[in-house]
Structure 1
Amino acid sequence: MNTPTMKGRPLAAVIAIVAWIAVLLQLYLSLSYAAGSGKSVGQGLVMYFGFFTVLTNLLVCIATTLPQVAPASALGRFFVRPVAVGWVAASIAFVGVAYYVLLRHVWAPQGLQLLGDVLLHYVVPILFVIYSLIALRGIALRWAAPLWWSLYPAFYFVYALVRGAIIGVYPYGFIDAAQLGYAIAVRNGCFLLAAFLLLAYLLLLAWRMGAGSVNPRDKTRL
């Protein structure tokens, strides 16, 4: 049976390189900004790891790197499973869509920050969605899978609120409980979770297309 990695290995390798460049560039920018603002390296790292964009791009790095460099490891085997590829695809697609709809007008990055912005929010999401369309073509994932995938943004939302309550800084204005109040922040979080589920189910339908032309032995229900 063809695994997702076997069907899209060259593209996965390209995505791994691009994604690592993106997250390392953003790490450099975050630490440089912290230093320029009189903050410590630790504060820069706290800022860096506070963003869903960064965490999800790191997830893409792991999902595309480990199956190629450590295919026999537990995570290497996990990230070639269709359900894992689907989870990562839905998550990084959500990064791109949410940024385009909600955040692209909030700031005007320049120079290296613009490069990092484009890589993290557009290039990596588009490439990984293309990879998923190749890797998961004709694979019928369970309809309940997006519900499990949604635990990731749900946990992130809780993390962002707790982190914000502790350090007084929220990564995104639409979940800034200090400014909006918890009722509105939670409401916004629920809307975003619903949007994530909608996007995940649209991807699920896209992957199921072409099932009739796929070898039955290559169809996997997970």
Structure 2
Amino acid sequence: MTLSQRNLAAIIVVTAWFAIVAQFCVGINSASVSPVVSTIRFFSYFTIQTNLMVAISTTCLWMFPQKCVGVFFGKSSTLTAITLYILIVGLVYNVALRFLWQPQGFARFTDELLHSVIPLLVLFYWWRSPEKEMLRWKYILGWLIYPLIYLLYTLAHGAITGFYPYPFVDVNALGITMVLVNCGIIALVFLLLGMLLIWLGKRFSRKRKNV
């Protein structure tokens, strides 16, 4: 890892941990349910889980680049998967969810960090990382395991509690058929964006080596 990469990782670490903690405090202070229920709901958002993944991975890359965890998170396949997940966070929010609510003040600031700033920072870090030519098309199916587990958890949690973190997975409002259609569309976006990242990684890594 170069010095510039490590500095960028440090920026992402500080930004991600700050945004997660700040958003948690905002949610707890404005919640109409108990702190326990509010905490469970907070960590039921794909946005929070994925930003937490970013925070943990970049912390390992920054602090332990030569250790097993740093090497694991620095692998092109792992880093690209995390980049894919956080880009989906930004894409889905800014295309489908941004206008459904209007946070104000500090809540809006943390909202922008989680959904816009951090995805862009991670994309930039990924772009500057080496060895993307090692990416393989077969990795895409493995990258879908985390979203699938998240979907199963969300549907099970929603069936038990009636809480669905996003309107497009709200079975009570839309019915299971429409929810599955929505999830199918998002799965397709995952596949296409994952393929795009692999293609870009392979293409431009070769170009840099030929320069």
What range describes the TM-score normalised by the shorter chain of this pair? over 0.9
Structure with greater helix share of residues: 2
Name the CA shift for 1:7/1:103 in 2 (closer, same or farther; >3 Å): same
- Provide the alpha-carbon RMSD of the alignment: 1.8
Q: Which amino acid aligns with 2:28?
A: L
- With normalisation by structure 2, the TM-score equals 0.93
1:23 to 8, 14, 20: 20
Mapped pair 1:123 → 2:117:
yes
Instruction: List gaps (5 residues or longer) in structure 2.
Output: none
Moved more, 7-16 or 96-105: 7-16
* Alignment partners' CA distance in 2, 1:70 and 1:138: 21
Q: Secondary structure, in 3 states, of the residue corresponding to 1:210? A: helix
Preserved contact between residue 137 and residue 210 of structure 1 (Cα < 8 Å)? no
Cα deviation, 1:175-221, whole Å, max 9, x if unaligned, reads: 101111111111111111111111111111121233334459xxxxx
Shift in Å, 1:154: 1.3
Mapped pair 1:174 → 2:168:
yes
1:145 to 129, 132, 139: 139
Cα deviation, 1:23-78, whole Å, max 9, x if unaligned, reads: 111111111122xx2x2210110110110000000000011001222345543331
Name the CA shift for 1:201/1:160 in 2 (closer, same or farther; >3 Å): same
Residue aligning to 2:49: 55
Cα deviation, 1:140-179, whole Å, max 9, x if unaligned, reads: 3001112111111111111110110111110001110111
Q: Secondary structure, in 3 states, of the residue corresponding to 1:21? A: helix
Mapped pair 1:79 → 2:73:
yes
Moved more, 183-192 or 87-96: 183-192
Shift in Å, 1:13: 1.1
Q: Which amino acid aligns with 2:9?
A: A
Q: Which amino acid aligns with 1:86?
A: T
Preserved contact between residue 130 and residue 205 of structure 2 (Cα < 8 Å)? no
Q: Which amino acid aligns with 1:132?
A: W
1:158 to 144, 152, 155: 152
Name the CA shift for 1:189/1:136 in 2 (closer, same or farther; >3 Å): farther
Residue aligning to 1:220: none
1:183 to 166, 170, 177: 177
Preserved contact between residue 13 and residue 59 of structure 2 (Cα < 8 Å)? yes
Shift in Å, 1:95: 0.5
Residue aligning to 1:209: 203
Q: Secondary structure, in 3 states, of the residue corresponding to 1:139? A: helix
Q: Which amino acid aligns with 1:54?
A: I
Mapped pair 1:99 → 2:96:
no
